[in-house]
Amino acid sequence: MSLRLGFLGAAGTVTGSRYLLEAGGRRLLIDCGLFQGYKQLRLRNWSPLPFDAAAIDAVILTHAHIDHSGYLPRLVKLGFRGPVFCSPATLELCRILLPDSGHLQEEDAKFANAHGFSKHHPALPLYTRADADACLERFRPVGVGSSFRPAGGVMSVLQPAGHILGATFVRVEHQGTAVTFSGDLGRPDDALMKAPAAPAPTDYLVVESTYGNRRHPAIDARAELAGWLRKACARGGVTVIPTFAVGRAQTLLWHIAQLKEHGELPDIPVFLDSPMATDATALYRLFHEEHRLGDEESRRMCAAARFVNTAKQSMALDSGSGPMIVLSAAGMATGGRVLHHLKAFAHDPRNLILFAGFQAPGTRGAALVAGAPTIRIHGQEHAVRAEVGQLQASSSHADADEVLAWMRQLSSPPRQVFVTHGEPGASDALRLRIEHELGWNATVPAYRDDVELQP
């Protein structure tokens, strides 16, 4: 019996990861993420699903980032009643990220209604915190490296992907035919995470291409960060770093701790203004076997910043002055507390807005990095006179060379490689390299493409 694979997200874009695999009459979703960025992408979150949510037998998550997990509460709300399989660390991170996502959507809807800038009356959240809590009851953690049966005669195994805590790539097998989904691949020499495991032989490979047309520069990430921070400190500025709560925040904290310890950065106040980033940071001490830091190093990372938990404490930061550093979610400035900090500090040329990774087109982060003179936040335009920077060496994604090196570890070529999770230029560049350098069949599927996988 053949398999069918549908590309319902992360096709032509880096968000909304969602693959529908049909095997032996069973239907599995690999990842279930939110679309982010351009409005036409975000509207897909509200569009009717091309399948019946109640007919999905199981979901397998590669990792906890919202563009891979953030649609799950909506899926359950629409009728999904199956299990959600993931690594233990991914479950713990989803306990933090998904309720926070629901809360943020409730707050955004409430703010829009109070200030009248939504076109919808009333503005409604895609899902609520209660929806997220209900969805978490469906999670079933499985051991990394151990086989499990998600549905019927389908077998699967998760292997470490090195991207963030709990991140895995997924191999699914049915009647001798294997499909592997890379998820988001980490870097072999990441400052915190261990290198991705080698992939097992597979008939079909779905591989990410976030950096499919780029190589990360051969520069020291800690030294690059120090250069930006010292400049802002010297002019008495506030540095605002929009940062992903999981992965990027912890890497930055570790670098800052090292810079201070070696006297390469003044002992200025550092604030981590993200309750979920605070909770996620604590998990690094619980899942120590997944990263490179020992207990003492993990303690120093956690001690690098003052944790800001309450909204009142967060608001107090906006009346402060530099030099100081504020790390706050979200990493592409799409929502969360960082928006209030941008409103407070973007107008002052002494300040620095420093982005620490890829900025998806259509996000505020992408607009700021491109030099936008104003940004729209909560229905109002705000002038941008602060210096805007972007770190080039702090990505937690493998670049094109590193993705190809990971693929070369396969003992035999897959029948077909599907290049996904990238902007069109990045995905096609990686496709060409796979064909020319590896000699493998590769294609870039479009959104909602559906293909039959021959046994």
The model's confidence at residue 327, banded by pLDDT at 50, 70 and 90, is: very high
CB 353 within 8 A of CB 346: yes
Task: Please report where in the chains the tokens 């570890």 appear, as a residue.
Answer: 409
Query: Residues with Cβ < 8 Å from 361, sequence gap 6 or more?
Result: 37, 38, 423
Average pLDDT score over residue span 272-297: 88
Query: Residues with Cβ < 8 Å from 354, sequence gap 6 or more?
Result: 228, 229, 232, 239, 240, 241, 388, 389, 390, 391
Query: Residues with Cβ < 8 Å from 377, sequence gap 6 or more?
Result: 339, 342, 343, 364
CATH of span 221-390: 3.40.50.10890
CB 16 within 8 A of CB 41: yes
Q: Given 3.30.43.10, 3.60.15.10, 3.40.109.10, 3.40.50.300, which CATH number is that of 3-214+396-453? A: 3.60.15.10
pLDDT of residue 303: 87
Average pLDDT score over residue span 295-316: 89
Distance CA 356, CA 350 (A): 19
- Residue 335 reports pLDDT greater than 90: no
pLDDT of residue 10: 96
pTM for this prediction: 0.89
The model's confidence at residue 119, banded by pLDDT at 50, 70 and 90, is: low
Task: Please report where in the chains the tokens 């605002």 appear, as a residue.
Answer: 240
The model's confidence at residue 116, banded by pLDDT at 50, 70 and 90, is: low
Backbone angles phi, psi at 380, to 5 degrees: -130, 150
User: Reduced to 3 states, what is the DSSP secondary structure of residue 395?
Assistant: coil
Parallel, antiparallel or unpaired: strands 238-242 and 270-273: unpaired
- Residue 285 reports pLDDT greater than 70: yes
- Residue 83 reports pLDDT greater than 70: yes
- C-alpha distances in Å from residue 162, one per residue of 189, 370, 373, 436: 10, 29, 37, 27
Distance CA 90, CA 75 (A): 18
Distance CA 373, CA 438 (A): 44
Centroid of chain to Cα 348: 30
Distance CA 414, CA 350 (A): 53
- Residue 330 reports pLDDT greater than 90: no
pLDDT tens string 253-266: 999 999 999 999 99
Mean pLDDT of the chain: 93
Q: What share of the chain is helix, strand, coil (3-state, %, to 5)?
A: 35, 20, 45
User: Reduced to 3 states, what is the DSSP secondary structure of residue 225?
Assistant: helix
- Entry field: residues in the chain: 455
Query: Residues with Cβ < 8 Å from 289, sequence gap 6 or more?
Result: none
pLDDT tens string 197-250: 999 999 999 999 999 999 998 889 999 999 999 999 999 999 999 998 888 889
Distance CA 129, CA 337 (A): 17
Question: Could you check whether 3-214+396-453 and 221-390 share the same CATH topology?
Answer: no
CB 417 within 8 A of CB 410: no
Distance CA 63, CA 374 (A): 34
Q: Would you call the peptide bond into 122 cis, given omega within 30 degrees of 0 as the criterion?
A: yes
Residue spans per domain, the chain? 3-214+396-453, 221-390
Distance CA 77, CA 17 (A): 19
pLDDT tens string 177-189: 999 999 999 999 9
Order of all β-strands in the sheet with 324-328: 306-307, 270-273, 324-328, 238-242, 352-355, 387-390
Q: DSSP string spanning 105-160?
A: HHHHHHHHHHHT--SSSS---SS-HHHHHHHHTTEEE--TT--EEEETTEEEEEEE
